[in-house]
Structure 1
Amino acid sequence: MEFLTAPFEVSFVFRALLAGGFAAVLCACIGTWVVLRGLAFFGDAMSHGMLPGVAVAALVGGNLMLGAAVSALVMSLGVVTVSRMSRLSQDVSIGLQFITMLSLGVVIVSHSGSFAVDLTAFLFGDVLGVTGGDVLVIAIAAAVGGLACLVLHRPFTALTFDERKAHTLGLRPGVAHVGMLVLVALATVASFQVVGTLLVFGLLIGPPATALLLVRGIGRVMVVAAVIGVVQVYVGLLVSWYAETAAGATVTLLGGVSFLVVLAAKAVLCRVSSRTANDNHYQ
């Protein structure tokens, strides 16, 4: 038991566990809609598109999370505006915003020769460096995100499975779509300090995708994804402590491994069940 609890007796590791747990719950709720709606590319693009805001905030000595939030909001609105004003698909709009924001961030960073360390933390996370204030912000974001998913459950469901019916029911799918993009931005901004922008995509997609292999029903998927995410954070921090590996990367690696293990196990069980059913049929 001491082996499983000793690392978390250290204050900064315990704060990392709290921050990671709240981020996992937030990403489970919003990531479920991302997977069901097919917004994985937007989630990935958003995680990189925050770079300009973070770069500017770092250069002027401001709050990195606030800079990331402004950048994420600009990108979300840009994707919606470009999609509506042109005949291009949303994927093209996301791609254009992605490369524009990322390039702008690199240009801003190139003017500072001392930003390399901060940029590394931004890209790969610094979960062991979170403060009590960071934990509070992530906890508030998790509460807001969870409440928004609960309130907007009906329009999100209609938008995801039958957009035309959403129009018929007066659920304003266009507004619901913008709301969904804003929530993805919220999850990305709140979680980037835990696992970094390059790896937040794993926390946002991994647990919900794994949960979809195990259960049906949006509510059940969110709950199972939250449990998977929290366990993933705990085990990831535990492994990184003893193996002396990067904490954020270890957490997200477990997400990918968990999905592949569940997928393989489900395939084996389906094959065994099919073979058993065939044997019973011939008997």
Structure 2
Amino acid sequence: MLLFTLRTVNVTIVMRCHVYGRISVFNYTFMLYAFIAGTIIALICGIISFFVIIRRLSFASHALGHISLTGASGAVLLNLSAMTGQLVINLVAGLLMGAFGDKIKKNDIAIGIVLTFFLGLGTYFLFLYQSGYSGSVMSILVGDILTVTLEQIYILLILAIFTIALLAVIARPLFISSIDPIFAESKKIPNKLLSILLFICIAITVSMACQVVGILLVFSLLIGPAAIATQWTDGFYKPIFLSTVISILTVWSGIVAAYYIDVPISFFITTIICILYLICIIKNKFY
């Protein structure tokens, strides 16, 4: 059903473009798939970015991005998709990071230890599989959303629904424990369990975001949108909404710009986020 709908939309857009003599990014099925996948990923990144910021888990997001290389290289050795390996290894690493302690300083140490172990493991996998891997490594490092398939879109959609459902359950207590841990503890809110569940959400989001910007730049989509949104709004719902809008518009802009200028999508996404954050800094300094 989804395949039929996508094809119908694609044919309709192409016909309209030919009638009006326009060259559209939707002339090609792979661009339509890229927009759908990019929207799903941007939606999740915009939401999870808010919790990463308020929980001060920037280092965790950065670490999980690099750990993804281990999962991807291990998956290639087993003739599996890179995303499958990234998802499995990130979930394992996320569980370890969350279980090692819910205090920030303890988490930083735990994250550092887990990161070094998995990076070493990834290096070993690369050593075992040296031939014909350079192209795969580049797509993993910088992302390659233009090659996304319909099957991968289904997977992304399932992961997105699961992540949003999980966040919907833990969002309120997670927000309270992030703002006032002592009050949360007095109300018997399970901080450690919330931390583990959040790390699971981050792990899934990182695995998804790597398809757009790659493991080297995944940090930008997980930090940037909420870092910008919290400079303009406060509270709970407003920053999440603005962060999601920023994330989606940034990914859309990156895909369109990359189509017409023929440069990596990740370059445009990170550039736009950096410019927007620079505007926030200037605004805070002079206004």
Task: Specify if TM > 0.5.
Answer: yes
User: Contact 1:124 / 1:195 at 8 angstroms: preserved in 2?
Assistant: yes
SS of corresponding position for 2:215: coil
Identify which of 107, 111, 114 aligns with 1:94. Answer: 111
Q: Matches of 2:117 and 2:278 in 1, distance apart?
A: 33
Contact residue 49 and residue 223 of structure 2 kept, 8 A: yes
Match of 1:259 in 2: 277
How do 1:160-199 and structure 2 match up within 5 A? 160-199=178-217
Q: CA offset at residue 9 of structure 1?
A: 2.5
Whether 1:35 aligns to 2:53 is yes
Structure 1 residue ranges, 4+ long, deviating more than 3 angstroms after superposition: 1-5, 80-84, 265-268
Which residue pairs with 1:8 in the alignment?
26
- The structural deviation recorded for 1:211 is 0.8
Residues of 2 paired with 1:147 and 1:14: CA distance? Answer: 26
| Residue in 2 that maps onto 1:51 | 69
User: For the residues of structure 2 that align with 1:183 and 1:222, how far apart are their CA atoms?
Assistant: 15
Q: For residues 160-205 of structure 1, what are the alpha-carbon distances to aligned partners after superposition, in whole Å with 9 as ceiling and x for unaligned?
A: 0111221211211110111111111011012211211111111111
1: CA distance, partners of 2:143 / 2:178: 31
CA distance in 2, matches of 1:145, 1:45: 20
User: In structure 2, what is the Cα distance between the partners aligned to 1:216 and 1:242?
Assistant: 36
Q: Does 1:124 align with 2:142?
A: yes
Structure 1 residues not aligned, in runs of 5+: 271-283
Q: Match for residue 127 of structure 2?
A: 110
Q: CA-atom RMSD, angstroms?
A: 2.0
TM-score with structure 1 setting the length? 0.88
3-state SS of the aligned residue for 1:89?
helix
| Correspondence for 1:200 | 218
Q: How much does 1:51 deviate?
A: 2.0
Shift in CA distance, 184/3, structure 1 to aligned 2, threshold 3 Å: farther
1: CA distance between counterparts of 2:61 and 2:256? 27
| CA deviation profile, 1:62-107 (whole Å, cap 9, x unmatched) | 13222111111221222244448xxx72211111111211121012
Q: 2:155 aligns with which of 137, 142, 148?
A: 137
Structure 2 unaligned blocks of 5 or more: 1-16
CA distance in 1, matches of 2:233, 2:21: 32
